[in-house]
Amino acid sequence: MPETGAIKAAVTPVHGPAYKVYKTRFYVLFVFSFLAFNQCIMWLTFSPIARNTEIYYNITDSTIDLLLNWGPIIFIPCLPLTSVLVNRPDGLRHCVILLAITDFLGALSRVIPSVILSASNPKFNKVALPFIHVGQILNAACGPLVMAPVSQLSCLWFAPHERTRATTIAIFANNFGATIGFVLSPFIVALPEHVPRLLYVHLGLAFVACVLALLYFPPKPPSAPSAAAELLVSNSTSTEHNHDWRKILVDIWKCLTTPAFLLLSLAGGLLNGTFGAWTSLYDIILKPENYTEAQAGWFGFGSSIAGIVGGLILSTIADRRRFQHALKTFILLSLIGCLCGIVWFELCVHSLFYDKHILSSTALTIGLSTALAGLFSGAATPLIYEALAEIMFPLPESLSASILVQWINIVSLVFLFVAPNRDKLVNFLVLVVGVSCIIMVVLTRFTYRRRDEDERQRVEKEQNQAAKEINTDHLINDTINEQSYGTFD
């Protein structure tokens, strides 16, 4: 009889779910989000404190604009390199380590002039400016590293019913950096000589994030949380996937020749690129309405916070099992809501068609209309990332996200080029883009290949587990009978 117990222990299966998630995923998401936050708050360093920066470094507003514009300028050529890196073995870890070190070096570069020279030194401007530009360029090169991997990170570490929320947090951590930057930077820099204080704060944040990433950032979980994650890991380590430029170009061509992907990625690029540039121009648009720069900044802050709230709320709903095939409906509702907010805003300001606003233009109506537009724009953004990954599965999620963010940066650059002294035209273009995005999403045929494959594999694994347990029970019963009744010997 003791032998029977040993046999039972050997053959009794370990009951458990088909796929497993690990608590480490929350640490991974936190570190990535912290780095994304730092990247954006550093990119926006000088614009909210433009006047004090001009005095401290003895520079013009055109230089301030260039420091900001390094972001999209450097982003576009660096994005393809990120796409190659993130799809190599342990690519996500390599991206995060590179991001942490590069952003820290960028923050350090901006501080060096204030350490080695006094601001009263005649040579301070000539020495400081190159260091400042190098710091901003290094920070700009980190932009693709925080924007391209968001969908891939959520797929690799999170269960299917958590992915949309994880993608939302990763995306909006970067946006939150700009939101806080608009408020925090003027608070710290009340006088020109306070500019180094802000740079030291950014250096401290970059140092802490760099240490966290270097100390511990695992490349992947011990076991995949979904079938899509299994495929992602196997593709990155497979010898058949050489990760060369030809393979990347073939995949990009496949994306751009898929009508559903092209329509939705263009809609997402137009929405985010135009909306982001539009909100940054509130001070110009609202100047004829006698609103101050400070008020315009608070309108932008409210719109950004509303976008984060909208994204988190709708992504939580979209992650529920009953709504996992309703991305098109949610995106359309969000775009319609965003368009309503834009129309409300434009009826409260001057436009191409009328010199006086139609509706009452008060701080309350402007604030509510911009918050409404931000709420629904933010709600649509992470859903578009996830929908693109679904449409192009089994291609890597980073590829679809890379193409989307490239559209966003191109649209932003074009929009900002058109914008100067054309506030009425800018308002009209935002309205046209809002309507165009709705039409493109209506025409898009949504598919849910990744989620369907995840569900199919989960059910198949559970059925296999159940079959093994039944076979094991039969084996145990046969063994017990044999021990009880003996043999012919």
Domains of the chain (ranges, CATH numbers) = 21-221 (1.20.1250.20), 242-445 (1.20.1250.20)
* Mean pLDDT confidence for 354-361: 76
Predicted confidence (pLDDT) at residue 10 exceeds the cutoff of 60:
no
Res 230: pLDDT: 85
Contact call for residues 216 and 32 (beta carbons, < 8 A): no
Question: What tens digit of pLDDT does each residue of 445-474 get?
Answer: 999 888 888 778 777 777 777 777 676 656
Question: What tens digit of pLDDT does each residue of 165-187 get?
Answer: 999 999 999 889 888 887 888 88
Res 42: pLDDT: 93
Quick one: tokens of 472?
């094991």
* Mean pLDDT confidence for 277-288: 78
10-13: long-range pairs with CB below 8 Å, 24+? 11/472, 11/475, 11/476, 11/479, 12/472, 12/476, 13/465, 13/468, 13/469, 13/472
Res 486: pLDDT: 39
Which residues lie closer than 8 Å to 328 by C-beta, 6 or more apart? 387, 441, 444, 446
* Higher-confidence position of 310 and 425: 310
Mean pLDDT taken over the chain: 84
Res 276: pLDDT: 81
Contact call for residues 88 and 153 (beta carbons, < 8 A): no
* Higher-confidence position of 144 and 418: 144
Predicted confidence (pLDDT) at residue 14 exceeds the cutoff of 50:
no
358 falls in which pLDDT band (50, 70, 90)? confident
Question: What tens digit of pLDDT does each residue of 403-426 get?
Answer: 998 898 888 878 877 766 666 777
Question: Distance between CA 386 and CA 167 in Å, rounded?
Answer: 8
Res 488: pLDDT: 35
The predicted model scores a pTM of: 0.82
